[in-house]
Structure 1
Amino acid sequence: MQFTKAFEQAACIIILLATQESGKPLSTDEISRRLEVSPSYLKKITRKLVVKQIITSVSGNRGGISLARKTEDISVLDIIEAVDGSISIYPDTGLINLVFKGGKYVNKGSDIIRNVFRNADELLNQYFSNIKVSDLLKEGFGNSEIPTLDWNRTSLIEFLQQDRGEQE
């Protein structure tokens, strides 16, 4: 199973929003520019995240998007389900029944295969639901403080230069 590129883009959106200064929505134009995706494509992804109540959208001149929940309350599974739907690694097209039609064990065999993959889906759901965005960010930044900046005005290069200056 492979997730779509929309998952990676949604994850990047969540990271940008998680590190955005509180109370300052992030412009979708800025996100579109940073991710190098068309504004219309970005709107499709953000709409899915809004529907799942992961982000909120504010219209207007000072509008944009921001997180609807704390990063501690957003799991990787939430993001997956928002952009790619529920996890289902076995397509179950009915081919087994078609190929072995009338076979003595075809129904039992199909049920066994379905159960194996249903169990695998459940294990993946459990695994991804236990991974919180906050934990990934803390691990990535190497501390419990998640740095913030105004992505609408600050470039990543400027941020990294500020970060290096504080460490010296």
Structure 2
Amino acid sequence: MKYSKATNYALHTMLFLAMETPNKPVGVHQLAERQNVSPTYLSKILTKLVKEGMINSISGANGGYTLSKNWEDISFLDIIHAIEGKSSLFDCCLYSNPECVIKDVMLSAEEKLENELRNKKISDLVKK
């Protein structure tokens, strides 16, 4: 199982914003430089986080991105879903068999992973 690089950048961006002053806008160039990624590519990721209400976009010369008001409640799973979507990691190839035992095992494991990620917050890392 592998998450995309976009998820990696989104998680790190959220952590960087939380470690900076959460209310002070940070520009896309500064965020991109910290992760050695293209500002254009990172902007696409940030757009998804804005759309999901996790961060705010502020226009203008002193603009940039800030965390949303409820940022301390944002879980790793929330960020992953914002980037990767909410579809299952496993698709059973035997669609005609509703009692696929392999699917049951895989979905159970995925549920445990999601519960773990749901319980981990970016704010937990900032407190360390």
1:53-64 equivalences under 5 Å are 53-64=53-64
Give the aligned residue type for 2:34. R
Return 5+ residue gaps in structure 2 as ranges.
Answer: none
**Identity among equivalent pairs (%):** 38
Equivalent position of 1:123 in the other structure: 112
Equivalent position of 2:42 in the other structure: 42
Partner deviation per Cα, 1:99-151 (whole Å, 9 max, x = no partner): xxxxxxx826x522222222222211111101111112223xxxxxxxxxxxx
CA distance change for structure 1 residues 52 and 91 in 2, over 3 Å: closer, same or farther?
A: same
Displacement of 1:79 in angstroms is: 1.1
- Kept in 2, the 8 Å contact 1:48–1:83? The answer is yes
The 2-side partners of 1:8 and 1:40 are apart by 16
Please give the root-mean-square deviation of Cα atoms over the aligned residues, in Å.
2.0
**TM-score, L = length of structure 2:** 0.87
| Structure exhibiting the larger radius of gyration computed from Cα positions | 1
Equivalent position of 2:100 in the other structure: 111
CA distance change for structure 1 residues 72 and 24 in 2, over 3 Å: closer, same or farther?
A: closer
Equivalent position of 2:123 in the other structure: 134
Return 5+ residue gaps in structure 1 as ranges.
Answer: 98-105, 140-168
Confirm or deny that 1:68 pairs with 2:68: yes
Displacement of 1:54 in angstroms is: 0.9
Give the aligned residue type for 1:107. N
Displacement of 1:42 in angstroms is: 0.7
Give the aligned residue type for 2:102. I
Give the number of aligned pairs: 128
